[in-house]
Amino acid sequence: MNKKWYRSKGTVIFFHILAWMLLFSLPALFHRENDQPRVNWKGMFTVKALIFDTCFIFLFYLNSLVLIPRLLNRKKIGAYIFSVVGLFIAVLVILPLIPSESGQRGFHRESFFLVFPYLFIWAMSTAYRFVSDRVKTEQLLKDRENENLKTELSFLRSQVSPHFLFNVLNNMVAMARLKSDLLEPSLIRLSGLMRYMLYESDEAKVPLSREVEYVNSYIELQRIRYAKSLTIIAELDLGDNQLIEPMLLIPFIENAFKHGTGIIGNPVIEISLKISEGLIDFRVKNKYVAGTGEAKDKTSGIGLANVMRRLNLLYDQKHILSINRENGWFAVSLQIKLNSK
Q: In the chain, what are the domain boundaries? A: 5-141, 180-337
- At a CB cut-off of 8 Å and minimum separation 6, what does 229 contact? 267
Residue 16 pLDDT: 85
CA–CA gap between residue 38 and residue 118 (Å, rounded):
26
At 255-271, the pLDDT tens digits run 888 888 877 788 899 99
Greater pLDDT, 135 or 175: 135
CA angle 229, 231, 236 (to 5 degrees): 140
Look up residue 24 and give its amino acid: F
The mean pLDDT value for 272-289 works out to 89
- Kindly state the percentage of the chain with pLDDT values over 90: 18
Cα–Cα distance, 53 to 121 (Å, whole number) = 11
Decide if pLDDT at 103 tops 70.
Answer: no
Give the DSSP per-residue string, 123-139: HHHHHHHHHHHHHHHHH
- Distance, CA of 319 to CA of 261 (rounded, Å): 28
Q: Give the pLDDT band of residue 229 (cuts 50, 70, 90).
A: confident
Predicted pLDDT of residue 340: 54
Residues 6+ apart with CB under 8 A from 148: none
- Residue 320 parent element (H or E): strand 319-326
Higher pLDDT, 179 or 23: 23
Instruction: Judge contact between 104 and 112, C-beta under 8 A.
Output: no
* Greater pLDDT, 236 or 225: 236
Confidence band for 295, pLDDT divided at 50, 70 and 90 = very low
Mean pLDDT of 208-230: 84
State how far the Cα of 330 lies from the Cα of 325, in Å rounded to an integer: 5
Query: What percentage of the chain reaches a pLDDT higher than 70?
Result: 69
Phi, psi dihedral angles at 333 (to 5 degrees): -130, 125
pLDDT tier at 336, thresholds 50, 70, 90:
very high
Task: Assess whether pLDDT exceeds 70 at residue 193.
Answer: yes
Please, what is the Cα angle at 200 between 196 and 201, to 5 degrees?
Answer: 90
Average pLDDT over residues 131-137: 87
Out of 85-89, 107-111, 171-175, pick the least confident. 107-111
| Other CB atoms within 10 A of residue 228 CB | 6
pLDDT of residue 188: 76
Residue 1 banded pLDDT, cuts 50, 70, 90: very low
Is the domain covering 180-337 a CATH 3.40.50.410 domain? no
Can you give the pLDDT at residue 247? 81
Q: If you average pLDDT over every residue of the chain, what do you get?
A: 77
Report which of 224, 163, 221 is spatially closest to residue 191, judged by C-alpha positions: 221
Residue with the bigger pLDDT between 130 and 205: it is 130
Is the torsion defined by CA of 23, 28, 34, 37 positive or negative?
negative
Say whether pLDDT at 112 is over 70: no
Confidence (pLDDT) at 334 = 94
Rounded Cα–Cα distance for residues 233 and 273 (Å): 11
Structure confidence at residue 320 as a pLDDT band (50, 70, 90): very high
Decide the pairing of beta strands 206-207 and 319-326.
Answer: unpaired
Could you tell me the pTM of the whole model? 0.54
